[in-house]
């Protein structure tokens, strides 16, 4: 008599689709915010002023050297205790993932700028460009070549890390898998489906990274 | 009045003092070849003149503008173009764009005008038809000729040349030097750090010899190669060394 209850239904498909939407939405919003943070922090890291270049480390290092899950719990469970601000799980997830992406992006940005030979700066300056003009016209295009593929790899990684938000009550893809698994008692089937969905989203992105890599490529 | 006045400059990197109370002038015309052993400050001198390095004391005036004033740097750099030893073409741009981008962005030159000018300059350096090559499709000598053309796009009155042929083989060196000779004929002022003695003898008007940040010799080419060479043992040995390669 439980036969029907153990089967996957059309309703489940919609449920999975919604959960996929949640995962994608949280990832997209937080990688967008994280990218903006990362660009700013990465540029500050390259400041010639030693103090200015060190300040972003206060933000970057703790986030790069602790598990995302701890950061998530700290924001969701810990922050309300000291601040009195109670965040819903959506907001907590986006804040945490954005900050986390930002920290990793800062490092990519910093390293990509640093990788451009100083001679490129000097050639631009010697032609009469301001530092800003050199940065925009000569450094940024060269930085993009290094940065874009690495950024996409980071984004794919963040999509996968977004599965942690299932642990603060969000019904993302992983949480949906959990729910269906408990109901249908078919772990192999359910987790294969979950695996496939993550893969189907990530794989084209990693291919896109390759394409973009070729598109922005030029050789030294 | 000289075009470039270097007045009692001091320049140190940490505890390494390259120049202390060093002065020299460069006229409104002519080619000056700068000679001297490695590490004596030849590159540093050129880089101080266009403000790529800051000076610790004294002053450098280009057309009476001090390099110490940040707001003068653009005008000074437009007056004194520079070509470096290592290739510095912008790798994400093709040859034509390398030439066109700066006058368009800095001097607000009309793009079409800039393209025409770039084509003319590429012809002049013997690379007409290579507009759309990328820098990695060019030999070292071709890259340096393009770097010269790129500098000339800004109509500089002077060129600062820092060993621009020292990474090239003799054949490519000859091509680059021919271009410089042409430009010198057009009246472009040149400050050239080079070990190419034959170029100095053929094209230069003046030779200065630097050693440990001091002006050991400063003479017309003829005087330098006839008299001073034999009177100064260190210079004689230096010239002998570089002529042996
Ligand atoms: N950016 C820098 N930082 C520290 N020291 C420097 C720097 N640039 C030059 N120096 C030092 O200043 C001195 C003069 O260097 P410079 O490059 O001007 O010599 P040079 O005459 O051009 O030598 P070479 O013939 O080898 O090119 C050297 O002792 C060099 O080590
Ligand atoms: Mg040098």
Query: Cβ of B101 and A123 within 8 Å?
Result: no
How far is residue B56's CA from residue A132's CA, in Å, rounded to a whole number?
Answer: 25
| Span B79-104, average pLDDT | 96
pTM reported for the whole predicted model: 0.88
- Is the C-beta atom of B72 inside 6 A of ligand 1? no
C-alpha A184/C-alpha A16 separation (Å) is 14
Alpha-helical (H) ranges within A8-78 are 10-45, 50-64, 68-73
Assess whether pLDDT exceeds 90 at residue B229: no
What's the CA gap between A173 and A90, in Å, rounded? Answer: 14
User: Helix A187-215 and helix A140-161: axis angle, to 10°?
Assistant: 180
User: Pocket of ligand 1, candidates B18, B45, B85, B160: which has the most ligand atoms within 8 Å of its Cβ, to mutate?
Assistant: B18
Task: Please tell me the distance between residue B39's alpha carbon and the centre of ligand 1 in angstroms.
Answer: 5
Residue A154: partners with Cβ closer than 8 Å, 6 or more residues away: A31, A101, A104, A105, A108
Distance of CA B45 from the midpoint of ligand 2 (Å):
9
State the ipTM, two decimals.
0.93
Q: What is the pLDDT of residues B106-158, one digit of tens each?
A: 999 999 999 999 999 999 999 999 999 988 899 999 999 999 999 999 999 99
Mind listing the pLDDT tens digit for each residue in A18-66? 999 999 999 999 999 999 999 999 999 999 999 999 999 999 999 999 9
**Quick check: A19 and A175 in contact, CB under 8 A?**
yes
Ligand nearest to the CA of B18: 1
pLDDT (tens digit per residue) in A172-181: 999 999 999 9
Judge contact between A145 and B92, C-beta under 8 A. Answer: yes
C-alpha pair distances (Å), B231 with each of B210, B227, B240: 16, 6, 14
Residue B241 neighbours by CB distance under 10 Å:
11
CB of B42 within 6 A of ligand 1: the answer is: yes
Work out which ligand 1 atom sits closest to the CA atom of B14.
4
Token pair of B197 as six digits? 């003695």
Strand pairing class (B214-220; B206-211): antiparallel
Q: Number of C-alpha atoms within 13 angstroms, CB side, residue B218?
A: 7
Tell me, yes or no, if A118 comes closer than 8 A to chain B by beta carbon: no
- CATH assignment of A2-219, given 3.60.110.10, 1.10.287.130, 1.10.3720.10, 3.30.70.100? 1.10.3720.10
């Amino acid at each position: 008599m439980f036969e029907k209850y153990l089967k996957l239904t059309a309703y489940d498909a919609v449920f999975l689709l919604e959960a996929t939407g949640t995962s994608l939405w949280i990832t997209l919003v937080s990688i967008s915010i994280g990218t903006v943070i990362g660009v700013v922090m990465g540029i500050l890291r390259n400041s010639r002023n030693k103090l200015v270049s060190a300040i972003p480390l206060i933000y970057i290092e703790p986030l790069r050297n602790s598990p995302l899950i701890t950061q998530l719990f700290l924001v969701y469970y810990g922050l309300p205790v000291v601040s009195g601000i109670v965040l819903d799980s959506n907001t907590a997830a986006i804040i945490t993932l954005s900050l986390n992406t930002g920290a990793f992006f800062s490092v990519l940005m910093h390293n990509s700028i640093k990788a451009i030979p100083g001679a490129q700066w000097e050639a631009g300056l010697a032609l009469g460009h301001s530092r800003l003009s050199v940065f925009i016209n000569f450094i940024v295009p060269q930085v993009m070549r290094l940065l874009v593929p690495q950024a996409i790899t980071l984004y794919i990684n963040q999509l996968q890390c977004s599965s942690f938000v299932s642990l603060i009550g969000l019904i993302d893809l992983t949480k949906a898998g959990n729910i269906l698994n408990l109901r249908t008692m078919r772990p192999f089937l359910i987790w294969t489906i979950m695996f496939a969905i993550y893969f189907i989203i990530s794989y084209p992105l990693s291919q896109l990274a390759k394409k973009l890599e070729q598109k922005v490529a030029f050789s030294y | 009045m000289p075009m470039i006045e270097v007045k009692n400059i001091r320049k140190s990197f940490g505890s390494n003092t390259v120049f202390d109370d060093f002065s020299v002038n460069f006229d409104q015309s002519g080619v000056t070849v700068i000679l001297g052993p490695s590490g004596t400050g030849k590159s540093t001198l050129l880089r101080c003149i266009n403000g790529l390095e800051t000076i610790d004391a004294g002053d450098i005036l280009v057309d009476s503008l001090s390099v110490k004033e940040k707001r003068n740097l653009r005008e000074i750099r437009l007056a004194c173009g520079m070509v470096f030893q290592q290739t510095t073409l912008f790798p994400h741009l093709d040859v034509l764009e390398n030439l066109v981008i700066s006058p368009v962005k800095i001097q607000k030159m009309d793009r079409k005008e800039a393209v025409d000018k770039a084509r003319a300059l590429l012809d002049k350096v013997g690379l007409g038809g290579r507009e759309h090559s990328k820098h990695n499709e060019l030999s070292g000598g071709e890259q340096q000729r393009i770097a010269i053309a790129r500098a000339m796009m800004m109509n500089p009155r002077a060129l600062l040349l820092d060993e621009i042929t020292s990474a090239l083989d003799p054949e490519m060196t000859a091509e680059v030097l021919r271009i410089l000779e042409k430009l010198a004929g057009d009246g472009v002022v040149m400050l050239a750090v080079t070990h190419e003695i034959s170029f100095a003898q053929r094209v230069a008007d003046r030779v200065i010899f630097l050693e440990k940040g001091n002006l050991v010799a400063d003479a017309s080419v003829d005087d330098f190669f006839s008299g001073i060479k034999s009177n100064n043992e260190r210079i004689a040995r230096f010239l002998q060394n570089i002529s042996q390669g």
